[in-house]
A and B are shown apart, each in its own frame.
Chain A
Amino acid sequence: AQSVTQLGSHVSVSEGALVLLRCNYSSSVPPYLFWYVQYPNQGLQLLLKYTTGATLVKGINGFEAEFKKSETSFHLTKPSAHMSDAAEYFCAVRRTQGGSEKLVFGKGMKLTVNP
């Protein structure tokens, strides 16, 4: 069954530094991949998604992700971190089963941005 792996649980960067959050997927069918962000005491908000087409996907708040089939990866990046980026980030993949679909989430990665 389709799944995603987010290694580690916490990433810390300095303000202005590159943000790189890793996500690897497992899927026997063409994957649909998503990144969500969760700010404290909030629900999950869609940052960006890849379904078909261009492999470099741009999202909100300056984030982007690149689908790399050869590496089974969909890493999230942002060139310059802001304090407001501090949040938890979740990678998700479409899981197909018996003709139905649902999203399956990774365990999340907490991003801390230091001044």
Chain B
Amino acid sequence: ETGVTQTPRHLVMGMTNKKSLKCEQHLGHNAMYWYKQSAKKPLELMFVYSLEERVENNSVPSRFSPECPNSSHLFLHLHTLQPEDSALYLCASSRGRQTNYGYTFGSGTRLTVV
């Protein structure tokens, strides 16, 4: 248990489905991140939230929609995905935007789009 919990652990969805990934942390952190990890590619930072405000969106397609209702929860809403969106989606949190403590990661959601 790392302190960052992601659900579900595995998700299979069709291209016309709508689903959501959930991330929860009770570490007192106030910055949260979504990363995409695809096979043979570097980790891709998708979104950054600081104090519940989106501060970074790295050219992510609109079929991915993040939501941060409070500092403990982060969602990634998915709709009309493509097979190339299949990947491990990792959530992370940190103490503010400072990096000196590093990030704490969840175990990820393995997404398969069929």
Contacts and interface: CB of A to CB of B under 8 A. Distances in A.
B69 to A, nearest CB: 22
A41 B48 contact: no
Interface in A59-80: none
Residue from A34, A45, A51, A100 having most chain B Cβ neighbours under 10 A? A100
B64 interface: no
Given A102-B56, A108-B42, A41 B99 contact: no
B99 A105 contact: no
A44 B110 contact: no
A101 B99 contact: yes
B66 interface: no
A51 B106 contact: no
Nearest to A44: B105
Contacts of A34: 102
Contacts of A42: 107-108
Contacts of A105: 42-43
Contacts of B6: 43
A5 B90 CA distance: 21
B2 interface: yes
Contacts of B40: 9
B102 A107 contact: no
A102 B97 contact: yes
Contact of A94 (B41, B99, B105, B108): B99
Interface of B: 2, 4, 6, 33, 40-43, 45, 48, 55-56, 90, 92, 97-100, 102-108, 110
For the complex of A and B, list the 3 residue pairs with the smallest distance between their C-beta atoms, beginning with the closest: A43-B105, A94-B99, A44-B105
Interface of A: 9, 32, 34, 36, 41-46, 49, 51, 90, 94, 100-108
